[in-house]
Amino acid sequence: MTELLKELTTPAPDMDDAIRFEDVVSGVFDATESEADPAALKRVLPPQPESPKLHKVLAQAGMGSRLEMEQLILEGRITVNNEPAHIGQRVQFGDHVKVNGKPIRFKIAPPAARVLAYHKPAGEVVSHDDPQNRPTVFRKLPKLFQGKWQSVGRLDLNTEGLLLFTSSGELANNLMHPRFGLEREYAVRVLGALTLDEKHKLLDGVRLDDGMAQFSSIEEGGGEGSNCWYRVTISEGRNREVRRMLESVGHAVSRLIRIRYGSMVLPRGLKRGAWVELDEADIRLLTRASQTQGEIGSAEPAPADKRMPNGRGAGGVVRSRNSPGRGSTRSPTTGKMSSQQPDPLKTSVGYIGADSFSRQRQDAGKKRGGGPGAGRRPGGRSR
């Protein structure tokens, strides 16, 4: 526990390789798209650990020698997933093997979780099969040898920014489930400035068709004319929730960009339609961050004798366990919501994504022969 607390509070490295809200408002975010793109490097996912051969697995399961197992295969007495086995066949986690019609138990370690960070452009749908035949985000992803990519939540057609994919259903559930309370951070441009009363409504909660919804925080970001930028955070991901909330107080959304999901940030330089694979170290941090936030969200409320009769804490701060913020508090002086989840831009945990991206760019530069500025091209550009 001490090690985890130390990790959560350690100052992060320079965040120059992460997209921040200020980059979106200043135009840096869009400017990177117009930069010249060096010659593309073909990147493919590293191979999965080799699947063992069937006769070896059966021999290790105590069915007999390898030669005896090969003979059974030749005689057609062994099936894999209800299909006759063949000499040299390999099996993997999840396969069903039968000898003489009897299921055989064997152990093969499941493949390690893999995670992709994808920069979704506007105009793509998050669906494997779209009835309207619109471009989907999955068409640009690399092929998995086992299983399929699962999107961590969704972004609607006109929303752009960070979208995560993983091969692990358990990790996807931990990252998406409301009880884990992972914050999503968006840069949103609306028509007309929000009034103080409208901000309070959005922080306190507005009623939508599918229930109450609220932002954890709202920060002004400037803008030109009637177009105003805001940095908002929310701890759930219902369909078009951010847009519907702002429309409920009379403001149409003209642009919406997700720049953070939990402790995962959108890497600077990862162009629209490109992906980057997280390395093992960043996947461990991402998994630990989701589990840690889940523990924070499930914390027990303060004892009754420590609370004021009106439901306020001893410090006069309103607390709500059931709000989407999961442990969020409202400052009595600023009126802003603050979450117990650490700010990813101020902790080492928050450097997830940008670090993997930087390492892959450096590796790409070395393969080209190095030199100043080498490896500055985003990794994972689909072709």
CA 110 centroid distance within chain: 21
Q: On the CB side of 159, how many CA atoms lie within 13 Å of its CA?
A: 22
- Considering only CA atoms, which of 241, 202, 204 is closest in space to residue 218? 202
Q: Does the active-site annotation cover 156?
A: yes
DSSP letters of 206-264? Answer: EEETTEEE--SEEEEEEEETTEEEEEEEES---TTHHHHHHHHTT--EEEEEEEEETTE
> Residue 320's CB: how many other CB atoms inside 10 A?
18
| Cα separations in angstroms, 192 against 215, 224, 241, 337 | 18, 10, 19, 22
Residue of 130, 156, 204, 279 with catalytic role: 156
Place of tokens 């441009």: 189
Read off the tokens for 350.
């928050």
Read off the tokens for 224.
């030109």
- Considering only CA atoms, which of 292, 283, 289 is closest in space to residue 344? 289
Hey, what amino acid is at 310? N
Read off the tokens for 366.
């070395």
Residues annotated as catalytic are 156
